[in-house]
Amino acid sequence: MKDRVYNFAAGPSMLADEVLNELNEEFYNYGNTGMAVMEMSHRGKDYLSIFEDAKKRLYQIMEIPEDYDVFFMHGGATGQFAAVPLNLLKGGKADYIITGNFSKKAAQEASKYGEIHIAYDGKDNDYSHIPAQDELSLSEDARYVHLCSNNTIYGTEWKNYPDVHGKILVADMSSDILSRKVNVKDFGLIYAGAQKNIGIAGIAVVILRKDLISEPDRITPQILSYQLMEKHDSMLNTPATYPIYVLGKVLKWIQDKGGLEVIEKNNIKKAKLLYDYLDSQSFYKPHAEKDSRSLMNVTFTSPSEELDKKFASEAAKNGLVSLKGHRLVGGIRASIYNAMPIEGVRKLIEFMDVFARENS
């Protein structure tokens, strides 16, 4: 990987070398078909087997029960901000837990289609905190409760999901899906844009309990209807064929590594290295409260905005790129998704230490 950098971008983000090499090998002529995957008909048997393979692997890795459907949809996670209320609200009300920018956006979008109750908003703690059960004001009559499992911009992550008193729990898992084991049965619906941890931009993965599928709101665009997704097995129109193929490759890579248990262990190890370093010094200030820290996005600041900028640009000269924090919050953010090797994290810490000494 001599000519490659360690890419700490929040998304689109790094893919594993093994995945890129396989994509490269199959790029020009896939499996002796004489064509590239992106040239194939989505209804042809070669592509259908790629599609089925990706779906099967997702069921295997996440241990998705049979009473759940898996859809690959257009419009990214943002499309789901609308799809969820359009399909599940049914003229009722929903609870939204706001722990960062994306959950806020999800609530804003949903409020176009029905009554949204904000069950928690972390703005007073600058989204550095994941609420405990007694901080939530859940309503009696919500049709579902929506949360964002990992807050990509602020660097916080749910460790234990809340008790929603038998309500449908909906989770935006865009930035931590397949980073650790989750019990799919705890959720009515999980969705994720693929470009953070499990592939490239172009698809949202949706995992939905089948009994929740019914006629959506009348105004629902066809491509956001779960009922039509189920009926057409994600092929109501042309699906994003190449991103689904890439997803399949990433899923195979996860299985080759030993599945989610191994992936989770690696992620804990990588994050612990970085957080232990942050806790051992006083130059950098971590943003998230200790028990709310994300395994995926590690956010911190140096003593000044100027130094934050200098940090990102000098890191880049050392092959450590995209460390600038999100434009909304500034600071520094290291996204260390599944594909980031532990050597990348070690190199980052070495760099941080030198930079701190040179700039104190």
Which one of 99, 128, 156, 175 is in contact with ligand PLP (CB under 6 A)?
175
Using CB under 6 A as the binding rule, whether residue 248 contacts ligand PLP is answered as: no
Owner of token pair 């019914």? 214
Burial 240-263 (b: 16+ CB within 10 A, else e): bbbbbbbbbbbbbbbeeeebbeeb
Count residues near ligand PLP (CB under 6 A).
Answer: 12
Minimum CB separation of residue 3 from ligand PLP in Å reads 28
Chain Cα centroid distance, residue 49: 25
Q: Which two tokens stand for residue 237?
A: 């129109």
Which one of 152, 220, 292, 299 is in contact with ligand PLP (CB under 6 A)?
152
Using CB under 6 A as the binding rule, whether residue 78 contacts ligand PLP is answered as: yes
The CA distance from 338 to 280, in Å, is 25
Using CB under 6 A as the binding rule, whether residue 130 contacts ligand PLP is answered as: no
* Residue 128 or 152 having the CB closest to ligand PLP: 152
Q: Which two tokens stand for residue 350?
A: 């070495």
* Residue 100 or 286 having the CB closest to ligand PLP: 100
Which one of 6, 47, 68, 102 is in contact with ligand PLP (CB under 6 A)?
102
* Residue 58 or 82 having the CB closest to ligand PLP: 82
Using CB under 6 A as the binding rule, whether residue 196 contacts ligand PLP is answered as: yes
Name the residue with the smallest CB distance to ligand PLP: 76
* Residue 196 or 333 having the CB closest to ligand PLP: 196
Task: Give whole-number Cα distances, 12 to 8, 38, 76, 94, 193, in Å.
Answer: 10, 19, 12, 30, 10
* Residue 30 or 113 having the CB closest to ligand PLP: 113
The CA distance from 56 to 114, in Å, is 35
Minimum CB separation of residue 174 from ligand PLP in Å reads 3
* Residue 302 or 333 having the CB closest to ligand PLP: 333
State the pairing for strand pair 93-98/115-121. parallel
Measured at the CA of 276, the angle between CA 270 and CA 280, to 5 degrees, comes to 150
Which one of 69, 95, 109, 172 is in contact with ligand PLP (CB under 6 A)?
172
Minimum CB separation of residue 132 from ligand PLP in Å reads 21
The CA distance from 309 to 324, in Å, is 7
The residue range among 49-57, 121-129, 171-179, 222-230 that interacts with ligand PLP, by the rule CB under 6 A, is 171-179
Please name which of 41, 57, 16, 30 lies closest in space to residue 241, comparing C-alpha atoms. 41
Which residues, in sequence order, are CB contacts of 295 under 8 Å at separation 6+? 150, 157, 176, 179, 180, 267, 268, 270, 271, 336
Which one of 131, 155, 188, 193 is in contact with ligand PLP (CB under 6 A)?
193
Q: Which two tokens stand for residue 22?
A: 């396989």
Find the largest Cα–Cα distance for the chain. Answer: 62
Minimum CB separation of residue 98 from ligand PLP in Å reads 12
Using CB under 6 A as the binding rule, whether residue 77 contacts ligand PLP is answered as: yes
Owner of token pair 């189920």? 230
* Residue 79 or 162 having the CB closest to ligand PLP: 79
Minimum CB separation of residue 206 from ligand PLP in Å reads 12
Using CB under 6 A as the binding rule, whether residue 197 contacts ligand PLP is answered as: no
Binding region for ligand PLP (CB under 6 A): 11, 76-78, 102, 148, 152, 172, 174-175, 193, 196
